[in-house]
Structure 1
């Protein structure tokens, strides 16, 4: 490798090469689709998920719903977070099995008394919904019992206090993950495919023969992608805030911190793009190798759902993936208002992966096919 001689010509050549590479990438359909349009579509879909909390839906037979004199039915109707569906029993059973009801309540009155038996049917396919339904019905039965026994001042009281907090919507979780998705595909798949094509067409070999210092050729690739990442991040965040009401905990400060983290993430992930480009023997083999690296991370790194939902044996692996570190750091900035020093752990994890990728890439990178 030629020794580096610093002068203005090297800098000018670096900037010119970066500019032409940037224009070339912006004209590529995959750059626009993978980097901006696909993440924007996902964000738009996720913006409709997790808005207002879902009400519990209980089914009640039409005969029971008409029994307004029942103390339990009166208590049931006072719960604002609960929706009652009155239909024939056969139709209620079908809705419950299809997961469209949380439970079916049936009241069997006792002869010559104001009481009776409250029966709850729930689906075994949804343990969480079943547990909530049982808790709600049991609480209402206890309240109804207190009324029937004339207890107006129970020995034990209950007080609940709501803490002021920013309402959580799924888009607040999903948008940082989509930034990671965009960053990973541009840095890994985009970088590897671009270098593979330049090798095949001998463009990289011709640039290698120029007086430009060799590492600056690769640096120009990084600078052109850095510009695209900054543009994509700015556009996605702007659309998220203005169109989908994405919440930034500290406003413009969080916005700038997210841009800084995106720049750091690009530098960390580009090493994997170089490594894949150095290992690929042809342009046709780039996509399978890149997908082998990116797709498992898109599924396991908390891009679309929390890693806590993964099986216990898989979580230790998922928690230490490069994209997981990025997603965790980005969500801490967004949801907790963390500073860059507060995310030093994920940054160190990304750095370790980055160093390993650059070391491996430097030992196997070639300028010709």
Structure 2
């Protein structure tokens, strides 16, 4: 070495830099890490957060100038359809596209007080929940008119108090799930393909001809993945926050804590990638093996739906998966304002998974 001391760290940084350039030039890496999650976030960001809307058809014989109809038209929950042919409206009712068809007809009473006959036509195809909302709205409108027409003493007096709260938006649920999915996919697929390719192209073997130690080779590749995923996480969180109002309770503190959790989750899932790259017999077997790890978690770890919405027999399986605890920790930190020491249970389960998967990786990992 001519008296020159070889720097393992400088060699590691050089490999990290080269690997990072390769990742940015890889379309698949960008798609898995940013493309898919951003598409889901954009879709749910635009459609989420709205209130429930009940679409109701209005029969052409309805008296739209009546007091009852005016009361209905002021209810924001109802979307009254008045400009549709009767045949089309009937067809929409049969197909469940509208909840009901209303016909409000004034009825002559014994006195001069108003009275209305409200005919409600529904279908077995209509959403049961929306039918219940419609009936509740009709009763409320009726009660309001009754109070004006027949003023009477009430058996109860109501007082209300509203305390400040935090609205849980759709994006607050979806974004942590998509961030966890992006981290898992990039870690498992990226690591598996990378080390399999390095072995097949004899790049690892060439590294052995240099003074760099094997540990630093692995660290260099891990650092490059970590840097890229941190950038991806910043983009995902930033877009969600500034474009769709994703909640970061403590601002920059919450943002940094989410990045710490992202790095930790990435390290755990990279262990699965090491295992897959080692047991894969050829490159075509990597996707099926990686999907065995990622697909069940993508569907069952609370990425799109709360775990409580799954059947009771399936929930224990959901609660075993590491992605469940990463997503849960991200949601608690982002929306509930908890700090890292408050999500110790989630971190502990992830740590346990990390210990197990890296123990397996050490046993099966092949350098050549």
Is TM (by shorter chain) over 0.5?
Answer: yes
Bigger Cα displacement from structure 2, 357-366 vs 72-81: 72-81
Deviation per CA, 1:45-67, whole angstroms, max 9, x where unpaired?
2221123324333222122243x
**Residues 239, 146 of structure 1: alpha-carbon distance in 2 compared, 3 angstrom cutoff:** closer
SS at match of 1:361: helix
Offset of 1:252 from its aligned partner?
0.9
Offset of 1:123 from its aligned partner?
4.2
SS at match of 1:295: helix
**Residues 61, 162 of structure 1: alpha-carbon distance in 2 compared, 3 angstrom cutoff:** farther
**Residues 138, 331 of structure 1: alpha-carbon distance in 2 compared, 3 angstrom cutoff:** same
Q: Does 2:88 correspond to 1:91? A: yes
Q: 1:102 aligns with which of 60, 85, 99?
A: 99
Offset of 1:330 from its aligned partner?
0.9
Aligned to 2:24: 26
Aligned to 2:55: 57
Distance in 1, matches of 2:6 and 2:258, equals 32
TM-score normalised to structure 2 length:
0.88
User: Would you say the 8 A contact 1:49–1:171 is kept in 2?
Assistant: no
**Residues 63, 123 of structure 1: alpha-carbon distance in 2 compared, 3 angstrom cutoff:** same
User: Would you say the 8 A contact 1:200–1:283 is kept in 2?
Assistant: no
**Aligned length in residues:** 359
Aligned to 2:217: 217
Distance in 1, matches of 2:159 and 2:77, equals 18
Aligned to 2:75: 79
Distance in 2, matches of 1:263 and 1:156, equals 56
Aligned to 1:4: none
Aligned to 2:132: 131
Offset of 1:157 from its aligned partner?
3.8
Map 1:140-151 → 2, pairs under 5 A: 140-148=141-149, 150-151=150-151
Structure 1: stretches of 5+ with no match in the other structure: 1-6
User: Would you say the 8 A contact 2:55–2:80 is kept in 1?
Assistant: yes
Distance in 1, matches of 2:135 and 2:48, equals 23
Q: Does 2:362 correspond to 1:366? A: no
SS at match of 1:47: helix
**Residues 286, 80 of structure 1: alpha-carbon distance in 2 compared, 3 angstrom cutoff:** closer
Distance in 1, matches of 2:105 and 2:63, equals 12
Distance in 2, matches of 1:161 and 1:296, equals 45
SS at match of 1:48: helix
Distance in 2, matches of 1:138 and 1:200, equals 72
Offset of 1:253 from its aligned partner?
1.0
Q: Does 2:325 correspond to 1:337? A: no
Distance in 2, matches of 1:156 and 1:122, equals 34
SS at match of 2:58: strand
Aligned to 1:47: 45
SS at match of 2:338: coil
**Residues 238, 111 of structure 1: alpha-carbon distance in 2 compared, 3 angstrom cutoff:** closer
Offset of 1:266 from its aligned partner?
0.9
CA RMSD of aligned residues (A): 2.4
SS at match of 1:64: coil
Offset of 1:193 from its aligned partner?
0.6
Structure 2: stretches of 5+ with no match in the other structure: none
Offset of 1:44 from its aligned partner?
2.0
Offset of 1:8 from its aligned partner?
6.4
Aligned to 1:3: none
Distance in 2, matches of 1:237 and 1:65, equals 51
* Superposed structure 1 runs of 4+ greater than 6 Å apart: none
User: Would you say the 8 A contact 1:104–1:120 is kept in 2?
Assistant: yes
Distance in 1, matches of 2:29 and 2:251, equals 28
